[in-house]
Amino acid sequence: MAFYILTDAACDLSKEYVDRQKDFYVFPMNYTIDNEEKTFYPYDGSPALKELYDKMRDGLVPTTAQINLNDYLDVFTRLTAEGHEVVYLCFSSGLSGTYQTAVLARSMVLEQNPAARLYVVDTLCAAAGQGLLVHFALKKRDEEGLNAEQLAAWVADNRQHAIHWFTVDKLDYLYRGGRVSRSTAVVGDMLRIKPVMNVNYEGKLIAQEKVAGRKRSLKTMAEKYEEFADRALWNTVFIAHGDCAEDAEYLSEKVREINPNVQITPLRIGAIIGSHTGPGIMTLFFWSQKAR
């Protein structure tokens, strides 16, 4: 029997990355824009993501939905009935109710199949920070041979070391999502103030610094990498952007100046995260020896 690692589309891993993995599944997630519901799966280069960001620039406001209980039940039930071990690494409970739904689904599966080796872990991560944690979890399974119980414990013990830094182009999108006040968004955008934010130990978005100008915010993120990255693992970096490829390359250059040997995985901020942050979001993810 196999050992499956599951996650969800909030991880922002690319379809190319996902397709390279064995015994790995990503739950699609839905969003709605312009009264049309769409399904987002790891980005495959299709124009749908560009269209989403363009519509947001035009003033449309998308909404996102949690994964349906029945979707969890279908996958959990099928895999455990076949005798597979399963670990689901879920989008942060600090940003979504998805984790609670997954826990409910797990309890329902165990009622019917008490012997099922099914674990649901709150990553307390989002976007490609969640993807980075999944990346290391896959390595733990495939290269070190951890079983499902061991891996679930490892993720719970180490999730605080997946570090997220990001900035946005316009604060208005964070205002719409309830992350900043209306006055902060208006004044900040007028003065070109760019927040440099991270994800805290509760898996919530927290503004850490306010800097003037886009380039300064990107440099500040690179400085955070130099300050906090675990030197044993700092060659692994994920950089993801929301339809701003030139800024992603600028940030990548700044990181390479700090560590010429770094291996950067370029990704796109997908529809689930991007619906709440807007186009222009820039993110940097790396492993830190120090927990959040």
Q: Smallest Cα–Cα separation from 96: which of 195, 199, 242, 237?
A: 199
pLDDT digits (tens, 9 = 90+) for 157-216: 999 999 999 999 877 777 666 655 655 554 456 557 788 999 999 999 888 888 989 999
State residue 189's pLDDT score: 61
> For residue range 74-107, what is the model confidence (pLDDT) as tens digits?
999 999 999 999 999 999 999 999 999 999 999 9
C-beta of residue 241 within 8 angstroms of C-beta of residue 247: yes
Given a cut of 70, whether residue 120 has pLDDT beyond it is yes
Distance CA 176, CA 197 (A): 17
Predicted local confidence at residue 187, as pLDDT: 47
194: three-class secondary structure by DSSP: strand
What is the separation of C-alpha 127 from the centre of its chain, rounded to a whole number of angstroms?
Answer: 2
Mean pLDDT calculated for residue range 31-47:
97
Amino acid at 178: G
pTM of the prediction? Answer: 0.95
* 216-252: pLDDT as tens digits: 999 999 999 999 999 999 999 999 999 999 999 999 9
Band (20; pLDDT cuts 50, 70, 90): very high
DSSP state of 229: B
pLDDT band at 125 (very low <50, low <70, confident <90, very high): very high
- For the chain, helix (H) and strand (E) counts, in that order, are 11, 13
Quick one: pLDDT at residue 207?
81
Tell how strand 118-122 and strand 162-167 pair up. Answer: unpaired
| pLDDT tens digit sequence for 257-273 | 999 999 999 999 999 99
pLDDT value at position 170?
A: 77
In the chain the domains, ranked by start, together with CATH numbers, are: 3-159 (3.40.50.10170), 161-287 (3.30.1180.10)
